[in-house]
Amino acid sequence: MGLISYATGTSEVPLIGKTIGEMFDEVAGRYPGADAVVSVHQGIRWTYRDLHEQVEALARGLMALGVERGDRVGIWMMNHAEWIVTQVATAKIGAILVNINPAYRTYELEYALRQSEVQTVIIQGRFKTSDYVGMFYEACPEAFDCKAGRIQSEKFPFLRNAIFAGEIPYNGMFRWSEVVEKGRGVNQDELAARAASLDFDDPVNIQYTSGTTGFPKGVVLSHHSVLNNGFIIGEGMRFSERDRLCIPVPFYHCFGMVLSNMACMTHGSAMVLPSPAFDAESVLRTIQDERCTALHGVPTMFIAELAHPNFSNYYMGSLRTGIMAGSPCPVEVMKQVNTRMNMSEIVIVYGQTETSPGITMTTTSDPIERRVSTVGRAFPHAEVKIIDPATGKILPRGEVGEICARGYMVMKCYYNNPSATHLTLDRNGWNHTGDLGTLDEEGYLKIEGRLKDMVIRGGENIYPREIEEFLHHHPKVSDVYVIGVPDTKYGEELMAWIMLREKESATEDEIREFCVGKIANFKIPRYVKFVDDFPMSVSGKIQKFRMREISIDELGLEDASRIETA
């Protein structure tokens, strides 16, 4: 028997045995004068010395409000400098930061606050049509009629404090400056004693997964998993205090909080925030004006930047590296980012929230063909295996199966959800990702799609990713996603959702003709739909379940969808 689909990442650099607070103090002391946070949209420019002062002040303020080790502190905020301050301050006092998606509305906010048993919540002001304070009052009307710090709600029995991340006085809420002022009553020795009491295996973060069915699950991550994942990612990009990372990805998601913020904070690099939410031109302008050396994004963000009509007006020459992650990266897009955006050292990271998030990564020294066709090799100190989902047995190299990961980066559990935890983490500590992939002879991982996205047409297993990559070679195609839709004869048929390049037009027959003779007939999409955009979450993840729902309705396949299969 040849090699089995098991690999482990090796490194001469050991894992860091520190809390996030200890590591941050060390880096801030090493690079006090280096830029730490540049929030373009807020007009903020802080050095690591400045950021350290902000963190210490908020940490003492939260202690003054009664936040104890293990208490949950919710943050409902877009990409503002205060998010970064809160991320480190809560870690320093042993609180657990609960990331609340800014796209949530009242019902979802209620669920997150209740399920995670939040004790203190930090809320931003209005953004466009979103009135965050108003939605909070709608969810918790008791807060409007109480004094700050004395919330008593039957719906939210743990909730005591609400903090407005600004200076507008609101009923029942502390202003940011009031919290800092209260912190003056907590001396440095008390903060140091709290920090010294912590362990790097303590939980530090809860993030909600945007599952396609049921309620979101709260992924519990530790100091150890978040800190080391961020550090290793920074090492993979060869970060130093001279690097300046443009961060358009949301902080509430692991991409922004770990791949971006922690990668910078462990290396003394600058975190540059172009806008509160993604805006392609703000990203291009910020790269030019701040001479950013790195850029992060999901593929849809890079596609939007490359396609922006003013793209050629901005200087990209300072860029060197960055990360494309969050969803599978089209090869043609990767090649354009390498050349047109000057990101010759861009890397791909694969993972999920449950693994803090990185599992595998390409490196700046990997050949370009590896960086456009795989998601790299196992992180240092991480294990990866490919199993047969039906039997659990490890498959030979090159065979498609479910990707499983084990190591320091795996979550502790789903908060208050033991049944879901047991379905994802097996008795040997392996995290079952639900993704399909292959490991080649050199240990490089290739993603073949989601276990639930695999299309079975007349007994043939079809992996949509393969067809998506092929259709990206069509000169008129800008972006494409392939799904399975129900069929009475074959069980499932293929459907391609296609976004064309600007000013291009095409027909369904033209797309199918492009496939004839180049891919197997059973892989040629029966249905083709031309679209201007795709259903996706705010973090940029394509929602294929929504595409399937829409397609079933538009194609009149309701009867076929109700046919039960074995």
The structural architecture, per CATH, of the domain 45-199 is 3-Layer(aba) Sandwich (3.40)
Whose CA is closest to 276, among 511, 48, 81?
A: 81
What value does the CA radius of gyration of the chain take, rounded to a whole number of Å? 24
The domain locations on the chain are: 6-14+218-450, 45-199, 455-561
Per-residue three-class SS string for 350-366: EECHHHCCEEEECCCCC
261 DSSP 8-state letter: I
The answer to whether 129 and 105 are in contact (CB under 8 A) is: no
Instruction: Give me the pLDDT at residue 471, please.
Output: 95
At CA 206, angle to CA 192 and CA 201, rounded to 5?
50
Instruction: Give me the pLDDT at residue 565, please.
Output: 38
Beta bridge partners of 82: none
Terminal CA-CA length for the chain: 32
pTM over 0.75: yes
Extended beta strands in 243-344, E state: 244-246, 270-273, 294-297, 321-324
Pairing verdict, β 294-297 and 413-414: unpaired
The structural architecture, per CATH, of the domain 455-561 is 2-Layer Sandwich (3.30)
Instruction: Give me the pLDDT at residue 538, please.
Output: 62
The answer to whether 416 and 46 are in contact (CB under 8 A) is: no
Instruction: Give me the pLDDT at residue 1, please.
Output: 54
Domain 6-14+218-450 shares a fold with domain 455-561: no
In order of 208, 290, 292, the CA distances from 315 in angstroms are 37, 11, 10
Residues 258, 88: Cα–Cα separation, whole Å:
12
Instruction: Give me the pLDDT at residue 43, please.
Output: 98
Query: Mapping DSSP to helix (H, G, I), strand (E, B) and coil, where does residue 405 land?
Result: strand
Instruction: Give me the pLDDT at residue 214, please.
Output: 56
For residue 401, what are its two tokens? 């199966």
Element holding 299 (H helix, E strand):
helix 299-307
- CB count within 10 Å of CB 211 equals 11
For 166-194, the DSSP string reads SS---TT-EEHHHHHHHGGGS-HHHHHHH
> What is the CA 314 to chain-centroid distance, rounded?
27
Give every residue of the chain whose pLDDT is below 50, as ranges: 212-213, 564-566
For residue 148, what are its two tokens? 């700050």
- Helix ranges restricted to H, 149-261: 176-182, 188-196, 223-236, 254
The structural architecture, per CATH, of the domain 6-14+218-450 is 3-Layer(aba) Sandwich (3.40)
**pLDDT tens, 335-363?**
899 999 999 999 999 999 999 999 999 99
Instruction: Give me the pLDDT at residue 210, please.
Output: 61
Count of positions (residues) in the chain: 566
